């Protein structure tokens, strides 16, 4: 990361890896969520009921979507289908925080 940033023109670079708090998909900013939608990918839901995973279609905003395949092109995405606008789309899988002991 440091080398890539220096090659882009930065003079001084410091990379710091934070291990706490753990990252979850709830930490995706609103801007990041909108950019995912613009790219045709549904962002992960902020809150989920146990055992349920419902996403809005990034094209029409409908909640009438169904998961077609848990396994998408990458480990972090699944394939969904919108029953309203009839478009297939990818959705980011939610990354939930682990229960703390």
Is residue 46, in this structure, part of any structural domain at all?
yes
Domain that holds residue 74: 2-92
pLDDT digits (tens, 9 = 90+) for 7-45: 999 888 888 888 888 888 888 999 999 999 999 999 988
pLDDT digits (tens, 9 = 90+) for 85-99: 999 999 998 887 665
For residue 101, give both structure tokens. 């002991």
Is residue 30, in this structure, part of any structural domain at all?
yes
Contact 55, 44 (CB under 8 A): yes
Is residue 67, in this structure, part of any structural domain at all?
yes
**How many structural domains is the chain composed of?**
1
The pTM (predicted TM-score) of the whole model is 0.70
Burial class (CB in 10 A: 0-12, 13-18, 19+), 22: exposed
Is residue 9, in this structure, part of any structural domain at all?
yes
Among candidate residues 75, 98, 78, the one with its CA nearest the CA of residue 89: 78
């Amino acid at each position: 990361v440091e080398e890539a940033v220096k090659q882009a023109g930065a003079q001084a670079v410091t990379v710091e890896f934070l291990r706490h708090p753990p990252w979850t998909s709830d930490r995706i900013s609103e801007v990041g969520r909108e950019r995912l939608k613009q790219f045709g990918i549904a962002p992960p839901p902020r809150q989920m009921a146990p055992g349920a995973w419902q996403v809005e279609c990034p094209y029409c905003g409908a909640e009438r979507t169904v998961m077609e395949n848990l396994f998408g092109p990458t480990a972090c995405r699944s394939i969904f289908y919108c029953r309203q606008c009839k478009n297939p789309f990818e959705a980011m899988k939610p990354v939930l925080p682990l229960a703390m002991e």
